[in-house]
Amino acid sequence: MTRLARVSVDPAALRANLARIRALAPRARVLAVVKANAYGHGAVSVARALEAAEGFGVANVAEAVQLREAGLAQPILVLGGFRSDEELGVLSRLELWTVVHQLWQVERLTACALPAPVGVWLKIDTGMHRLGLDAGEFREAWSRLGASPNCRWPPVLMTHLACADDPHRNAFTEAQLRRFEALSRDLGAQTSIANSAALLAHPRTRSGWVRPGLLLYGAWPLADAAPQGQAAWRPAMRFAAPIVAVRRLHAGDSIGYGATWTCPTDMDVAVVAAGYADGYPRHAPSGSPVLIGGHRARLVGRVSMDMLSVDLRGVPHPRVGDEAVLWGQDPRVEEVAARAGTIPYELLCHAGRCLG
């Protein structure tokens, strides 16, 4: 690891968040979503911490192989599906599950000679218009897979919601749920709808398999911030970096590229060894929170590639080598994301490069 900024992950927080999800959806099975290196938290170690989950969700076959080869024996579902006969062979050999979202995949799955049948989740497009089968394609896939020894029967039926995080779009979500229920009713298959936002905001989705990602990592997925509800979820990631300089600057001195922030008085400023190359968002504006020695301080000036500056007024006895917390328990990643005009998902994924 060549970076001074450090990401650490608390496995107890991951487990506590899983327990909260179970309390929310006591009848559901949990597919813990660990794609994108577990949102930057480290896929293998997160999956080990969450071994009580009934399964894991990853983006692609390579991510699934990584978990299997690390010794994880649970079901692992490839959310993006397979792309070739070779990948299909890997799925079958390693007992990996796959999403099927296009009819050509049904064709390959039914035509291939496989060592063992593959677990399939049929993905229905109910309005997201990203991956998924439309109603006609779904009926065709259902009947063709039913006649094939290569598909474990019955498949799980899944869909993905586009606006579950936004209460102003509840009508859109309702329409998606109605389309899904109309197609899946009476087929005797397990179902899967909920991501983190749906789990919290749409109790109807708390059945079958739930597919939380962000909530497991302790970040709040809904558009409306809910500070009280939020506090109960434990952030698993702590992103911190050392102070490499403490400067005494004078009233009128400006800081950093573009000279966008000017000291209103004589004051101490810390230079912290984290920047956008480490995954700290370049668009975080002056005023974004940073914690030093347990005291809240504020980012000042533009974020550089591997440095950022912090206003030390209100921080007693700051020293070179002290640690600045960029996000974790306080400040929370949601707060930094909101300041930077992005979402916690993006910040967590990017900071993962400092996992160490």
Q: Given the rule CB under 6 A, which residues bind ligand PLP?
A: 33, 35, 79, 160, 195-197, 211-214, 221
CA dist 290 and 288 (Å) reads 7
Q: Which is nearer to ligand PLP, 221 or 318 (CB)?
A: 221
Q: Which is nearer to ligand PLP, 192 or 288 (CB)?
A: 192
Q: Is 29 left (phi over 0), alpha (psi -120 to 50) or beta?
A: beta
Are 101 and 133 a contacting pair, CB within 8 Å?
Answer: yes
Is 345 annotated in the active site? no
Residue 109 backbone phi and psi in degrees, to 5: -65, -40
Is 257 annotated in the active site? yes
Q: Which is nearer to ligand PLP, 92 or 192 (CB)?
A: 192
Q: Which is nearer to ligand PLP, 33 or 109 (CB)?
A: 33
CA dist 160 and 198 (Å) reads 10
Instruction: Look at residues 254, 250, 246, 356 and name the one whose alpha carbon lies nearest to residue 293.
Output: 246
Of 35, 123, 217, 280, which residue is the catalytic one?
Answer: 35
- Residue 44: how many other CB atoms lie within 10 Å: 16
Torsion angle of C-alpha atoms 49, 51, 56, 58, degrees rounded to 10 = 30
Closest approach of ligand PLP to the CB of residue 163, in Å: 12
Q: Which is nearer to ligand PLP, 85 or 346 (CB)?
A: 346
Of 39, 123, 257, 276, which residue is the catalytic one?
Answer: 257
Closest approach of ligand PLP to the CB of residue 266, in Å: 46
Q: Which residue is nearest to ligand PLP (CB)?
A: 213
Closest approach of ligand PLP to the CB of residue 233, in Å: 12
Single-letter amino acid code for the residue at 102: Q
N-to-C CA span, the chain: 7
Closest approach of ligand PLP to the CB of residue 300, in Å: 32
Give me the sign of the Cα torsion angle 22, 129, 184, 144.
negative
CA dist 66 and 96 (Å) reads 11
State the angle between helix axes of 103-111 and 135-146 in degrees (0 to 180), rounded to the nearest 10.
10
Residue 100 backbone phi and psi in degrees, to 5: -115, 120
Q: What angle do CA 324, 327, 328 make, to 5 degrees?
A: 110
Instruction: Look at residues 210, 256, 213, 217 and name the one whose alpha carbon lies nearest to residue 233.
Output: 217
CA dist 190 and 205 (Å) reads 12
Tokens standing for 44?
């293998």
Instruction: Look at residues 234, 240, 237 and name the one whose alpha carbon lies nearest to residue 325.
Output: 240
Peptide bond connecting 331 to the previous residue in cis, omega within 30 degrees of 0: yes
Closest approach of ligand PLP to the CB of residue 117, in Å: 23
Closest approach of ligand PLP to the CB of residue 346, in Å: 12
Q: Which is nearer to ligand PLP, 105 or 195 (CB)?
A: 195
Q: Which is nearer to ligand PLP, 80 or 285 (CB)?
A: 80
Closest approach of ligand PLP to the CB of residue 102, in Å: 15
Give the residue numbers annotated as catalytic, written as ranges.
35, 257
